[in-house]
Amino acid sequence: MNIIVCIKQVPDTAEIRINPETNTLMREGVPSIINPFDLHAIEAGIRIREQLGGKVTVLTMGPPQAETSLREAVAMGADEAALLSDKAFAGSDTWATSYTLAQAIKKLGSDIVFCGKQAIDGDTAQVGPETAEFLDIPHISYVKKIEEVTDNTIRVQRLMDEGYDIVESSLPVLLTVVRELNQPRMPSLKGKMAAKKAEIKKMGITDIEADENSLGLKGSPTQVRKIFAPEIKAERKMIEGTPEEQVDNLIKELREIKCL
Amino acid sequence: MPVIVKPDKCTGCETCLDSCPFDAIEFKDGKAYINEYCNACMTCLPVCPEGAIIETEPGTRNMEHRQEIADYKDVLIFAEQREGKVASVSYELLGIGKKLSNELDTQLIAALLGAGEPEARELIKWGADKVLLCSDSGLERFNDDAYSGVLAQVINEYKPSIVLAGATPIGRSFIPRVAAKLRTGLTADCTSLEIDKETKNLLQIRPAFGGNIMATIVCPDYRPQMATVRPRVMKRGEYDENRRGEIVHVKVENPVSRTKVLEFVKEVSGISVNLHEADIIVAGGRGIGGEKGYKMLEEFAEALGGSVGASRAAVDEGWIPYSHQVGQTGKTVNPKVYIACGISGAVQHLVGMQSSDIIIAINKNPEAPIFNVATFGLVGDLFEIIPLLTKKIREAKGL
């Protein structure tokens, strides 16, 4: 079983603050992490390998420093790691990113491709399904449980609005996963040693035989026109006093607005 | 790089450093340079006091695949249905779709898959000029392969300039496949859509970086311009019992699929998780301290007749299940009353609840950003305030 897990190195958005004077992001000192959903994707890949054998390859597209995230994935238990890095990939939107990842996955070969549901910086959730389309394989989004995997089929639970679907697919398939799927393991000591020594396969434009016009900014249909701080508006009334007084006054207000 | 720093002009003042939303500016030997993270958003250009940051290749965009833009005219919405019933987000799409099609002076088309004529007629009453109806029984249940194939087919035939779908589990799963097939742009989870007065292009506005910033996205050279739209953000259009429109039956040849839905399992937990429908939401954050705090919130919500929501912090700690999460990576809600208990108010939470009619914030930290969006604010210990509040509400209601 060849399993590929696509991961992304992202800034920890929970740590990001806005500079109130310039209305810009303050990213200094914000740690780079593996996108949290992708940790569950890595875990899922490792568990299937443990059950059926084969190998898990982690794949990321990004600048050279994304290598640290690949090594972390190897420390968790991935067998191989590949870094898609080329100046030609810069400025890719989800269309161009998916095209590029798909070209690399075709080279690496896969039975199951795992992605996190979405990355916490862009929050688009588009790269998984778009990559599946470029690979011409089916995909299942929001996988919350893997019920059964055989050499040529898989049955999973897909999270929907008011419950879940039980979905079956042939292999190869691409799955995007949600947090409920599993508890990602911590790197073992042995894993950390392996991560240090691991050879990172570097892939650029010629390695994936990509159409140059479909890459990076040039290949991206969408453009970012403007970035701005979200508007926040409110008139606020503070309710003060002892807890007893606060509660009584709040109840008065709740009556006023007919909440009581 | 589409954007570079002229080293002779750069003074190394670092003013530009924080302006970049993509972390693409670095300093080496006292000079700024742009790394591979650059998205060419041009935010940094006017920030530089020396004018040292410039756009290098404004003409390098790829025009080879560019579609004949003039051929693409109408606004098309994907009308989502579940179990034969049109989902409420579809009516919201008709609302915003009507606004856009009026501005562009074009038709508003709805594509309805796997439902019947009565549902199609409803869409017309809600604003559609034309409904493309595909009643094939193979489309009654959502399926990525089949849905993306059929939608791509009708888009190729009718050539709309704009395609909108709900940013629901269904829309967000299969619409990307459609965009990939059509070689066009797709913007996820938009919270605002406008027409650019000059270019007539669609301005697609959405939160990014966990809701910390907003971005305006355009798709100038490819058609259609596609976007998924966050549910419960857009207003429904006007319902007109007498509105007339056309229903076109679309034929498809046996929609095929490589995946198969075996069963749908409905999950409704004890206390209402249906935050979308709730008039009152009592939400807990890190300040509730643990599962015990969650119990206290449940009792409070029960007394008020509301539902329980949560911030990401409380969910990440494992105190409240994910299905309760409100915010950028959870649900977007707009109840009449939202009571935030021990929630500091990170932007990623605020984007999910700030359109609530009335926001009540209870927090021990008077500096907490949640108070900036609150209608009423109470600074204090929620373990004192909430039990007391619950007791008095029960008394008032005679419970």
Domain membership flag for residue B259: no
Please tell me whether residues B100 and B124 are part of one structural domain. yes
Domain membership flag for residue B285: yes
Between β-strands B75-79 and B162-166, what pairing exists: parallel, antiparallel or unpaired?
A: parallel
Please tell me whether residues B74 and B40 are part of one structural domain. no
**The last residue of a domain, from among B231, B249, B267:** B249
Inter-chain CB proximity B186 and A137 less than 8 Å:
no
Please tell me whether residues B216 and B93 are part of one structural domain. yes
Inter-chain CB proximity A257 and B38 less than 8 Å:
no
Domain membership flag for residue B377: yes
pLDDT value at A16 more than 90: no
Contact (Cβ atoms closer than 8 angstroms) between residue B234 and residue B92: yes
How many other C-beta atoms lie within 10 A of the C-beta of residue B228?
29
pLDDT tens digits along B226-256: 999 998 889 898 999 999 999 999 998 777 8
Q: Does residue B70 or residue A53 have the better pLDDT?
A: A53
Inter-chain CB proximity B35 and A167 less than 8 Å:
no
* Residue ranges making up the domain that contains B223: 69-249
φ and ψ of A230, to 5 deg: -65, 145
CATH number at residue B36: 3.30.70.20
CA-based radius of gyration for chain B: 24
Listed in sequence order, the residues at least 6 apart from A75 whose beta carbon sits closer than 8 Å to its beta carbon are A187, A188, A191, A192, A194, A195
Please tell me whether residues B89 and B226 are part of one structural domain. yes
Q: Smallest CA–CA separation between A242 and chain B, in Å?
A: 9
Buried b (16+ CB within 10 A) or exposed e, B113-143: bbbeeebbbbbbbbbbbbbbbbbbebbbbbb
From A167, A222, A239, residue closest to B217, measured CB to CB: A222
Domain membership flag for residue B40: yes
Our CA angle for B296, B297, B301, nearest 5°, is 125
Both structure tokens of B26? 């670095």
- Looking up tokens 């890595």 gives A42
Interface mutation vs chain B, best among A224, A244, A258, most B CBs within 10 Å: A224
Q: Name the least confident of A55-69, A222-236, B95-109.
A: A222-236
Domains identified in chain B, total number: 3
Inter-chain CB proximity B385 and A246 less than 8 Å:
yes
Domain membership flag for residue B265: no
In the 3-class helix/strand/coil scheme, how is chain B assigned residue by residue? CCEEECCCCCCCCCCCHHHCCCCCEEEECCEEEECCCCCCCCCCHHHCCCCCEEECCCCCCCCCCCCCHHHCCCEEEEECEECCEECHHHHHHHHHHHHHHHHHCCCEEEEEECCCHHHHHHHHHCCCCEEEEECCHHHCCCCHHHHHHHHHHHHHHHCCCEEEEECCHHHHHHHHHHHHHHCCCEEEEECEEEECCCCCCEEEEEEECCCCEEEEEECCCCCCEEEEECCCCCCCCCCCCCCCCEEEECCCCCCCCCEEEEEEEECCCCCCCCCCCCCEEEEECHHHCCHHHHHHHHHHHHHHCCEEEECHHHHHCCCCCHHHEECCCCECCCCCEEEEECCCCCHHHHHHHCCCCEEEEEECCCCCHHHHCCCEEEECCHHHHHHHHHHHHHHHHCC
φ and ψ of B283, to 5 deg: -120, 145
Q: Is B323 exposed, middle or buried (0-12, 13-18, 19+ CB in 10 A)?
A: middle
Domains of chain A: 2-219 (3.40.50.620)
Task: Work out the average pLDDT over B175-195.
Answer: 96
Domain membership flag for residue B268: no
Contact (Cβ atoms closer than 8 angstroms) between residue A141 and residue A176: yes
pLDDT value at B308 more than 80: yes
DSSP E strands, A85-222:
112-116, 139-149, 153-160, 163-170, 173-177, 200-203
pLDDT, position B57:
62
Please tell me whether residues B313 and B363 are part of one structural domain. yes
Distances, alpha carbon A98 to alpha carbons A151, A195, A216, A233, B310, in Å: 26, 27, 11, 37, 33
Contact (Cβ atoms closer than 8 angstroms) between residue B336 and residue A259: yes
Q: Smallest CA–CA separation between B317 and chain A, in Å?
A: 13
Please tell me whether residues B105 and B189 are part of one structural domain. yes
Please tell me whether residues B141 and B183 are part of one structural domain. yes
Task: Work out the average pLDDT over B310-327.
Answer: 89
Inter-chain CB proximity A223 and B203 less than 8 Å:
no
φ and ψ of A118, to 5 deg: -160, 165
Please tell me whether residues B12 and B127 are part of one structural domain. no
Inter-chain CB proximity B173 and A141 less than 8 Å:
yes
pLDDT, position A21:
63
The whole-angstrom separation of Cα B173 and Cα A174 is 12
Reduced to 3 states (helix: H, G, I; strand: E, B; else coil), residue A242 is coil
Please tell me whether residues B75 and B99 are part of one structural domain. yes
Q: Smallest CA–CA separation between A30 and chain B, in Å?
A: 10
Contact (Cβ atoms closer than 8 angstroms) between residue B194 and residue B218: no
- Does B393 touch chain A if contact means CB atoms closer than 8 Å? yes
Chain B residues closer than 8 Å to A122 by CB: 188, 208
pLDDT value at B67 more than 70: no
Of A24, A34, A257, A73, the residue nearest B17 (C-alpha) = A24
Q: What is the mean pLDDT of chain A?
A: 92
Q: Smallest CA–CA separation between B242 and chain A, in Å?
A: 33
pLDDT, position B398:
81
Contact (Cβ atoms closer than 8 angstroms) between residue B90 and residue B115: no
Domain membership flag for residue B342: yes
Q: What is the mean pLDDT of chain B?
A: 89
Both structure tokens of B284? 């807990």
Length of chain A counted residue by residue = 260
The whole-angstrom separation of Cα B144 and Cα A23 is 40
Inter-chain CB proximity A134 and B180 less than 8 Å:
yes
Please tell me whether residues B95 and B21 are part of one structural domain. no
Q: Smallest CA–CA separation between B70 and chain A, in Å?
A: 17
CATH number at residue B314: 3.40.50.1220
pLDDT tens digits along A21-39: 665 666 677 889 999 999 9
Contact (Cβ atoms closer than 8 angstroms) between residue B369 and residue B232: no
pLDDT, position B211:
73
Q: Is A221 exposed, middle or buried (0-12, 13-18, 19+ CB in 10 A)?
A: buried
Q: Does residue B130 or residue B367 have the better pLDDT?
A: B130
How does DSSP classify residue A104?
Answer: H
Task: Work out the average pLDDT over A42-46.
Answer: 98
- The ipTM estimated for the assembled molecules is 0.90
Both structure tokens of B220? 């100038």
Reduced to 3 states (helix: H, G, I; strand: E, B; else coil), residue A256 is helix
Question: How many C-alpha atoms does B243 have within 13 Å on its Cβ side?
Answer: 19
From B39, B354, B392, residue closest to A247, measured CB to CB: B392
Please tell me whether residues B111 and B21 are part of one structural domain. no
Chain B residues closer than 8 Å to A233 by CB: 373
Task: Work out the average pLDDT over B57-64.
Answer: 52
Our CA angle for B328, B333, B334, nearest 5°, is 135
Q: What percent of chain B has pLDDT over 70?
A: 95
Contact (Cβ atoms closer than 8 angstroms) between residue A45 and residue A77: no
pLDDT, position B25:
87
Contact (Cβ atoms closer than 8 angstroms) between residue B25 and residue B37: no
Taking CA–CA distances from B353, the nearest residue in chain A reads A232
pLDDT tens digits along B248-284: 999 987 778 899 999 998 876 544 457 877 889 999 9
Please tell me whether residues B151 and B99 are part of one structural domain. yes
The whole-angstrom separation of Cα A54 and Cα B79 is 42
Reduced to 3 states (helix: H, G, I; strand: E, B; else coil), residue A228 is strand
Domain membership flag for residue B263: no
Contact (Cβ atoms closer than 8 angstroms) between residue B145 and residue A138: yes
Both structure tokens of A201? 């396969």
Contact (Cβ atoms closer than 8 angstroms) between residue B368 and residue B352: no
Inter-chain CB proximity A132 and B304 less than 8 Å:
no
The whole-angstrom separation of Cα A4 and Cα A107 is 11
Q: What percent of chain A has pLDDT over 70?
A: 93
CATH number at residue B222: 3.40.50.620
The whole-angstrom separation of Cα B121 and Cα B130 is 10
